[in-house]
A and B are shown apart, each in its own frame.
Chain A
């Protein structure tokens, strides 16, 4: 049994049902990436896995226990999450931001233990943000800022990490940098990662387990090499494409059909 799973999950905002009767098990110690078109419910599913949204029906289970019944602080010791566009208090320094990731391990009389200090120092080191520690988060570049947020989630010391589109608003070099970092954390620290990604090719490159969603349902899941095919891309995104092996990694590379052009008589 997986540590984190969802059973018969139905999620809704107000009266609008977004996800219906969904079952998913997150493989332990692997990188799971959820993909799908806009409004397919992928971020909603991630929010429910992170207890930000209460299921209308069904449940998310952490170690077999219903997530909604576990005290939120205890959940925070097991499961860290990074929302799509997090906001930090104005003027806060990187070190202070990362230090606040330790909140679930603290109490009014244990505000800054030696373990807290070690965990924060390590998180800064692993994300190469140690040299930025005294800088204000407001003045960082997009890539640096995202690394600082990941450092905060890392300092939280959870074995599961949920990332909601961690590469949005980043240029391609920083996207690769962030995803490489996530991959490294998974390999070196055995962290379970669940990420929502927009880019299907990046998903195929970085995922061990790919979950493809459409209209609040899972269309296919499994290893990217098995799942990503031209048929799947058509079914999920409604896009004609050719799938070829990625020249660098060998993972599936989706090449969309020819761009629109004025027909030329041969």
Chain B
């Protein structure tokens, strides 16, 4: 009767009473993304005003003495690390918020979080309260969190309803973007210009100051993300079915939305509001992994894999002028996402 059942596409690992169910394609994609990401990091460290060989780059990263320590270790590495972390945070945030909103168009950019960070920083910078390098990250984190919490508070009505959440998020985003424009026009001209550069999302001059706390936030997010990934197996059903399967829907939605907000705010704090990454990365990851729900780990890696090469392009495209990374992320990711969409439509589904 209970003949062995094979779950197509999954590999089962069992040891004693412990058992793990692994979606094979997601695991393979994650591995592939990791390799590509490593290559992108090395390439970013090799290329610049002076070209450094990959061997030397690896030496510097491993802490061995090298004549390129200054260029690679001091100039390029911090910037790549911040890009890597910010991309990871954005990819994860997008995956979480799209899961909660059940909507592929929802992302921290759309539901108010990013605009919260932007309006706060631009407001404070345009009126000379903070400089671009100093307290801007903290202002961004605070602003993003505040906007996110405001959206949840307004959307909460005996639970967080997906549609209400997205609509109120859009409303708050529009209001905050208008406010940002007011700050830019009314504020001090020179300061407003600096605020504008911050607004496009830039890794220019990024250092370990940003990398340090962003890394801690990401590390702290790992257990919450693992919890969220388990819940994703049932949250992708309708609400009634999910509750029937024993999911504490309100708690899990709020947890996912809050984690997404924290990660997106911190990414904005470290690199400014880098556009499109949080929106695109989960959708690219979903299509690569062909899983039933948005894969968190693959989304995180895809986020990093969009930002790191995008920053390389931003640095080199009009060298010696360095472009803000936010200008390029859309250029790198959007065509790829469109290609995936077109291909899947031809596939007949």
Contacts and interface: CB of A to CB of B under 8 A. Distances in A.
Answer whether A and B are interacting partners. yes
Interface of A: 47, 50-52, 72-77, 79-83, 85-93, 95-96, 99-101, 103-104, 108-114, 116-122, 124-125, 133-134, 153, 156
Contacts of A89: 236-237, 292-293
Given A104-B246, A121-B3, A91 B237 contact: no
B246 A120 contact: no
The 4 closest A-B CB pairs, nearest first, are A76-B246, A118-B2, A89-B292, A83-B240
Contacts of B2: 117-119, 121-122
A38 B14 CA distance: 50
Contacts of B18: 109-110
19 contacts: A51-B243, A72-B248, A87-B241, A91-B290, A93-B9, A96-B292, A109-B18, A110-B18, A110-B19, A111-B20, A113-B19, A117-B2, A117-B4, A117-B5, A120-B5, A121-B1, A121-B4, A122-B1, A125-B1
B244 interface: yes
A17 to B, nearest CB: 16
Contact of A110 (B3, B17, B241): B17
Interface in B159-190: none
Contact of A111 (B21, B243, B292, B349): B21
B7 interface: yes
B12 interface: yes
Given A74-B246, A112-B14, 7 more contacts: A81-B241, A99-B7, A108-B226, A112-B20, A116-B19, A117-B5, A134-B8
A72 B246 CA distance: 5
Contacts of B293: 89
A133 B244 CA distance: 22
Interface residues of B, number: 37
A90 B7 CA distance: 17
Nearest to A104: B246
B245 interface: yes
Contacts, number: 117
What is the predominant secondary structure among interface residues of chain B facing chain A?
loop
Contacts of B8: 93, 95-96, 133-134
A73 B242 CA distance: 11
Nearest to B246: A76
A109 to B, nearest CB: 5
A32 B103 CA distance: 38
B5 A77 contact: no
Interface centre among B5, B20, B227, B244 (most CB of A within 10 A): B244
A175 to B, nearest CB: 21
Nearest to A153: B244
Nearest to A87: B238
A72 B4 contact: no
Given A52-B240, A99-B7, A113 B17 contact: yes
B230 interface: yes
A133 B7 CA distance: 9
A16 B303 CA distance: 46
A103 B246 contact: yes
B234 interface: yes
Contacts of A80: 244
A117 B19 CA distance: 11
Contacts of B17: 110, 113
Contacts of B10: 96, 112
A124 to B, nearest CB: 7
